[in-house]
Chains A and B, each alone.
Chain A
Amino acid sequence: MTIQTVGLLDALKTPSNPFPGLRPFESNESHLFFGRDEQIEKMLSRFARTRFLVVVGTSGSGKSSLVRAGLIPALRSGMTPAAKGKWRIAVMRPSNDPIGNLISALNTAEVFGSTEPENAAVQQAITESTLRLGSRGLIEVARQNLLADGENLLVLVDQFEELFRFIREARKAGNAKAENDAADFVKLLLESVKAEAHEANIHVVITMRSDFLGDCSQFWELPETINESQYLVPRLTRDQLREVIEGPVALGGGQIAPRLVNQLLNDIADNQDQLPILQHALMRTWNECKDSQHDHQGLPEVIDLCCYEKIGEMADALSKHADEAYGELAINQREIAQKMFKALTGIGEDNRAIRRPVVFSELCEVTQANPEQVKVVINAFRRPDRSFLMPPAEVTLHDDTPIDILHESLIRNWKGKSKPEKDKRLREWVIDESISAQRYRLLVDFFRWNIPLEDESLEEMLEWQERNAPHPAWARRYDNDEKVFRQSLDYLARQSQDYFAQSEAQDNQQYRHKLIVGSIRGIFINSVVLGFVFFLVFFLHSFEPPPGWPPSSLQNQSFIEWAVTQVNATIYWASYDAMMFGSWIFDWWQSIKNPIIKLGTLFVSMLLAMNFLWLLKQKILRNKLTVNCPTDNLPARPIGGTVNRYLCRQGHQFKGKRHNY
């Protein structure tokens, strides 16, 4: 990691797009870094006094840009009376090896590094041994390298909060050396800015997320130093935001409509990701305006509402942009993308979505895809005009290259729909992933404590397994022990087997019972209806004795024969009645003069008839359904095959529980 220097001729160039989008401003872009002069001045005055500055702010407050494009260029330009002279700037992130990274940062060519490769190793080793001598190591390194008169060394530790993660992991793993390393690293920084070390001309700047401020008390003396030199990055005022918008436009040689400026300012309102989102929207709007395809409703060349609406406005610009990349992928690549982003994000301790750098090889394992495919997916998201992922497009990917989401605001703002599965995007994926991880941890607990899985818990676990197809590479992130993962899954398989076997007999019995009861009920209802019809017709026509009654004929006829004639008569009369009723209706219908009423009645009668038929069908079907498959209460979304069949047979009810997947 280095600090970009401003090339002589670069300084005179007009940028093609003066907005950086999601990435932070670089130190050679200070001419585009508007609206922060007041903040820079406050920082400078604190910095000059203590030689130590802790820039603290929320995610998205622009800490990194403020230091890179604000503080450093201000120092280098000599515009501040407090700090004169040349600056050598070592930039680092603590990552997984704070002292090692400090050594590398000090040994770049811009700082103390040697340009000849054979000297580099020697130099590196000297620096390392000196740094590890004691807490004044950094001062000695600076002296060894003979800073010229008036030359200053600035150590910039970006994302200092990584150190706390480093310590946490070291403690978990019982790695005492790592823990000591972290403490030594902090001590090196603190010692080099003390008043008695001022002749060494060392300065330290730290950027840190404000959530971690409390953690600083883990180190001796750090809180005291921070109390002296903290700078909490304030929100920009409306006027400053106006400069952020109008300044680069003017510098890039463009024009922006005042109404769009107001619209942008109103839209940004209280958004936590104020700055990255605004920068991204502006970058996109600028490109849209310069796009030859774009139809300007007003003046061409003026950035106006039409350009802004096209990119999806502030609320959707990021989603839309990321969707473009996602949409270009083939179906199987989309799946890789989904798995990849799930691996690159996480839920922090305070339930906030955070990014989580993962090295390339691990990413391939987690996504279970071949590296070429993963590269295609990564490249789609890190093209220069997109840059959602780090490292930038020009860096080749090796197995140990860390892949990272450029800014957390992407996690919060790339949103899809909660349903269906294919419309989900990063925000939903993160939630899905955290639920999945929860289930997995639960399963491991079940296994460790040997708790039997039953009913709902079993159903949930089976559903989880079917949906996520967990594999060891995935589980490694949540539990380092692969054995535990395999055993837990075995445990789940065993449990479900037992459970099914146990309930099989019971199920079959229940099934048969229901079938019989249902059939009898169906037959009974149908015969009652039929009998009633027969009885009705019989009653209408047969209250007078039929010819051949009294029993004289009875002597000639058997009862059966009599009954048969009666039934025949009933059927005859019934059809006769129906025919008479029909012809009467038909006569009445024919007598209608008005054609509208005539057609109307025809229409209504057809409707009635259809309705009747439909009711009949329902009735029959319902009788059947209740017997065969009691699934009326299944959840809106059918879940995996095994469980589904099993539940069908059991007549399982979900008690109104919804699965929020």
Chain B
Amino acid sequence: MGFVPGYENDIFISYAHNDNSTHASKPDDDKRNWVSLLEDYIRIRARGRGHELKIYRDVQLNPFTGVNQQLADRISQSAIFICVVSPNYTKSKWCLWELEQAFKLNRPDSMLRIGKYPLDDAELQLTQKELLKKTDHLLEARFYTRDESKKTVDDLQPELFPEHLTEFYKRLNPIVDKIIERLKELRAHHENAQPAEVKENQVAVYLAETSKDLADNEREQIRSELAQSGCRVLPDQPLPRDASQLRIAINKHLEQAKLSIHLIGESYGDVLDGEDLSIPHLQFDLAAKMREQKKLAQVVWLPDELSPKGKYQQDFLAKLKDAAPDFLQSKLKDLKAVIREKLKPALPTGWEDAKEHQVKVCLYYHELDKEPVKPIYSHLLIQRSFKVKLPLKDAQSFSGHQQLLQSSDAVLLHYGSGDDEWFGNLWQQIQRHTSTGLAKPILVRAIYAGKPMTEEKELLDSKDPIIIKNFDDFREETLAQFIERIELAKGGKR
């Protein structure tokens, strides 16, 4: 049994033996041929992620056995079916038979297509065509580039040219990630029958489809970085190329995501029939809408020295500069750093025990002033049923103050026995924490000048913070202004 329980093999690789041999290699030198390299890489990458895979590939070429029930069982007993499609593949009836068997199982999610070399339609027979047409819907990695104008094909031949190896592996990476993800899903499904829950722990990131100049290199780098750090990268399937479906699909993905990342290249991108905006532009707009509803964070990145092509792209860029909250024009490493920052889990605010509509008040006082503060505390807490925290006592660390203050509704600083220096420094810290990066605007800031009376305390005067002077014992009216302001601001908000 392999990685996925319930299956004999994890992966079945269907390929033409001719694709796994070169004139240069000896027949039994199986290690460095095309398909063997592919198989080894999948195995090694999976090992890197801590999974040992069992991969089945028909190594022994025995034309006399032909196809048989044993092979058909193997296919159905493998969790994932990979076909290496090339002209050789279409010429081999065994290969096509394997493919047919795989389709009979009706598990398109567990089938992958590797394009080794493009097919020539003219050479195919009708039945083959129909069969292969079905594979068009499968997820595909291509290992060749076809130049339509010159009618030439560049394919990767890592078995012959070592310099092709890097590119070969690079193109294989997304497929391997997909395979591992799919295998994990299958395993989770088998073990728990609740795959949805497993997914919830995973942070989903929407990595927008981008124009061609960034798709292969930059986007792929970000994608693999995210995948490696355990994020679920959306869209996990290619976006539909149909205008009516497109918006729905994007929105569906965005709803799951916590962060959306947009890489902007030099061209505007494809514009679908029946749609005004290009796909990158549309994705940005839809994500921006979500961002405004505070459902996700959004990051826009473009290369350091980008020269946009065409008026549309220039206009789009100008719009981005004004509208995007996080607009990076930098090196890719900076984007990676920003993404890491954005995905850090939020720190606890310290107000978790407060009820939703309860007014949250931070009360600061000098440790010598415990007695005079007691009535204030109890008044706020009991009479007003506010949630009151005493950060100088409650906060576990320096940054605890920041967390508390940034999510509070009001802050009250009792200024009694402490000296000027203590008061001045403390107030400046409070000021800093309550002026930016707030979860919601703070309603009231107040200074309560209490016993003992000094000349300087008498002179205190300000609108924000409001100054409450009471050099006698505590009376309820003293806090009236403070409470009134809170009520007013709360009411105003509602």
Contacts and interface: CB of A to CB of B under 8 A. Distances in A.
B120 interface: no
A12 B413 CA distance: 13
A175 interface: no
Contact of B334 (A33, A38, A250, A269): A269
A508 to B, nearest CB: 61
Interface residues of A, number: 47
Contacts of A146: none
Contacts of B420: 5-8
B424 A5 contact: yes
B399 interface: yes
B433 to A, nearest CB: 8
Nearest to B399: A41
Interface stretch (A118-126, A258-266, A277-285, A288-296): A258-266
B86 to A, nearest CB: 46
Q: Chain B binding site: helix, strand, loop or mixed by DSSP?
A: helix
B18 interface: no
Interface stretch (A76-84, A219-227, A632-640): A76-84
A243 interface: yes
B423 interface: yes
Contacts of A250: 435-436
A259 B318 CA distance: 10
A9 B428 CA distance: 11
Interface stretch (B40-48, B240-248, B288-296, B456-464): B456-464
B422 A81 contact: no
- Chain B interface size band reads 35 or more
B422 A76 contact: yes
Contacts of B194: none
Nearest to A270: B331
Interface in A72-113: 73-74, 76-81, 84, 86
A149 interface: no
A11 B428 contact: yes
Given A5-B421, A243-B436, A251-B432, A259 B397 contact: no
Contact of B460 (A12, A78, A266): A12
Contact of A28 (B328, B330, B398, B424): B424
Interface string B432-461: 110111000000000000000000110111
Q: Which of A73, A79, A250, A270 has the most CB of B within 10 A?
A: A79
Contact of B338 (A9, A44, A238): A238
B196 interface: no
Given A8-B420, A251-B432, A73 B425 contact: yes
A263 B437 CA distance: 19
Q: Which of A7, A9, A263 has the most CB of B within 10 A?
A: A9
A269 B420 CA distance: 40
Given A8-B424, A38-B399, A78-B392, A239 B330 contact: no
B426 interface: yes
Contacts of B326: 238, 262
Contacts of A84: 367
B282 interface: no
A269 B330 contact: yes
Nearest to B433: A37
A79 B398 contact: yes
B402 interface: yes
B324 interface: yes
Contacts of A81: 395-397
B337 interface: yes
A11 B447 CA distance: 12
Contact of A238 (B321, B337, B431, B433): B337
B473 interface: no
Nearest to A238: B338
Given A262-B324, A266-B327, A30 B396 contact: no
A34 B425 contact: no
Contacts, number: 137
Q: Which of B337, B432, B433, B456 has the most CB of A within 10 A?
A: B432
Contacts of B3: none
Interface string A297-340: 00000000000000000000000000000000000000000000
A259 B327 CA distance: 8
Given A78-B392, A246-B436, A31 B327 contact: no
B299 to A, nearest CB: 10
A282 to B, nearest CB: 14
B341 A239 contact: yes
A247 interface: yes
A77 B429 contact: yes
A484 interface: no
A78 B413 CA distance: 13
B144 interface: no
B428 A30 contact: yes
A31 B429 contact: yes
Nearest to B324: A262
B386 interface: no
B322 interface: yes
B460 A9 contact: yes
A34 B432 contact: yes
Contacts of A37: 398-399, 402, 433
A244 B423 CA distance: 24
Given A11-B423, A262-B326, A80 B397 contact: yes
B401 interface: yes
26 contacts: A7-B420, A8-B456, A8-B460, A10-B424, A11-B428, A12-B427, A28-B428, A30-B428, A31-B431, A34-B436, A37-B399, A41-B398, A73-B428, A74-B398, A76-B425, A77-B428, A79-B426, A81-B396, A81-B397, A237-B341, A238-B338, A239-B341, A247-B435, A247-B436, A258-B325, A259-B327
Given A31-B427, A44-B398, A270-B331, 15 more contacts: A6-B420, A8-B423, A10-B424, A12-B465, A28-B428, A31-B428, A76-B421, A77-B422, A78-B426, A79-B426, A80-B397, A81-B395, A238-B326, A238-B341, A239-B341
